[in-house]
């Protein structure tokens, strides 16, 4: 799908609106979710403008790995690794995606059910 640069995460990347930043590097940033669904809930997003996981291509392979590596490193840093944490990517409105800039949810600090809703 076409990337809309007015989406809220694009605005966070441009520092037009604030976020509780946890991490920043050349390829991605991570910040706390504004409506947390668990005691710990943060998002890892690429700087590259990709609307949905479904829009990622072969040229994004290293970037996708970096997002997951960053998610795990932050989960460890926040003390979530031993208790377990959930990683979620909603791709498309039917899956619950509401912000159309690719993002990895990381949730922890409670138990999670399966299958997810």
Binding site for ligand AMP (CB under 6 A): 8, 19, 33-35, 90, 96-99
Catalytic residue flag (residue 103): yes
Spatial separation of the C-alpha atoms in residues 15 and 91, rounded to whole Å: 24
How many Cα neighbours within 13 Å face the side chain of 92? 5
Please pick, among 41, 101, 103, 105, the residue that the annotation labels catalytic. Answer: 103
In the bound state with ligand AMP, the residue whose beta carbon lies nearer, of 72 and 88, is: 88
DSSP 8-class letter at 14:
T
In the bound state with ligand AMP, the residue whose beta carbon lies nearer, of 35 and 62, is: 35
In the bound state with ligand AMP, the residue whose beta carbon lies nearer, of 58 and 94, is: 94
**Catalytic residues, which ones?**
103
């Amino acid at each position: 799908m076409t990337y809309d640069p007015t989406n809220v995460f694009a605005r966070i990347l441009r520092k037009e609106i604030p976020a509780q930043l946890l991490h920043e590097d050349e390829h991605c940033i991570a910040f706390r979710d504004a409506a947390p669904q668990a005691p710990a809930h943060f998002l890892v997003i690429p700087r590259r403008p990709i609307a949905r996981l479904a829009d990622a291509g072969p040229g994004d392979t290293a970037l996708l790995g970096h997002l997951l590596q960053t998610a795990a490193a932050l989960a460890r840093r926040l003390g979530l690794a031993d208790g377990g944490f959930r990683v979620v990517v909603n791709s498309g409105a039917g899956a619950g995606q509401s912000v159309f800039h690719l993002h990895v949810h990381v949730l922890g600090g409670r138990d999670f059910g399966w299958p997810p809703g």
